[in-house]
Amino acid sequence: MRQIFKLATPYLLFAPRALNPNLSARDTHSWIEIAIPLEDGTFNLLSIGKFTKVFPITTWEQLQFIYRTYQGILTIVDPNKFHHSRSRIAVPFPPLAKDQFIQLMGALRQDLLRAQKEDFVFQVQGDNCARWVQKMVNILFPNLGIELFSMSHDDIIIPFFIMPFIWIQRNIPIESVKNAFRMSLGLFLGALEGQEFTNETGEKVFTRLYDDVNWNKGTLELPAKLFEILETVKQRVSSPFLNSPL
DSSP 158: -
Torsion of CA 208, 214, 216, 220, to 10 degrees: -90
Nearer to other proteins among residue 140 and residue 172 (C-beta): 140
Q: Is 109 in the site for other proteins (CB under 8 A)?
A: yes
Among 2, 38, 142, 236, which residue interacts with other proteins (rule: CB under 8 A)? 38
Among 22, 184, 198, 199, which residue interacts with other proteins (rule: CB under 8 A)? 22
Span interacting with other proteins, options 101-109, 171-179, 180-188, 199-207, rule CB under 8 A: 101-109
Q: Is 224 in the site for other proteins (CB under 8 A)?
A: yes
Among 81, 147, 177, 214, which residue interacts with other proteins (rule: CB under 8 A)? 81
Q: Least distance from C-beta 47 to other proteins, angstroms?
A: 7
Q: How far is CA 69 from CA 105, 125, 236, in A?
A: 27, 9, 39
Q: How far is CA 81 from CA 16, 29, 31, 96, 150, in A?
A: 36, 11, 9, 22, 23
DSSP 231: H
Contact 40, 19 (CB under 8 A): no
Q: Least distance from C-beta 181 to other proteins, angstroms?
A: 22
Q: Is 29 in the site for other proteins (CB under 8 A)?
A: yes
Q: Is 217 in the site for other proteins (CB under 8 A)?
A: no
Among 7, 12, 19, 96, which residue interacts with other proteins (rule: CB under 8 A)? 96
Chain residues 130-169 in contact with other proteins, contact rule CB under 8 A: 130, 133, 136-137, 140, 148-149, 161
Collect all residues with Cβ–Cβ distance below 8 Å to 51 and sequence separation of at least 6.
72, 73, 74, 75, 122, 129
Nearer to other proteins among residue 18 and residue 97 (C-beta): 97
Whose CA is closest to 223, among 108, 87, 113? 87
Per-residue contact string for residues 41-80; x = within reach of other proteins by CB under 8 A: xxxxxxx---x-xxx-xxxx------------xxxxx-xx
Q: Least distance from C-beta 196 to other proteins, angstroms?
A: 20
Nearer to other proteins among residue 4 and residue 231 (C-beta): 231
Contact 64, 190 (CB under 8 A): yes
User: What φ, ψ does residue 234 adopt, rounded to 5°?
Assistant: -60, -35
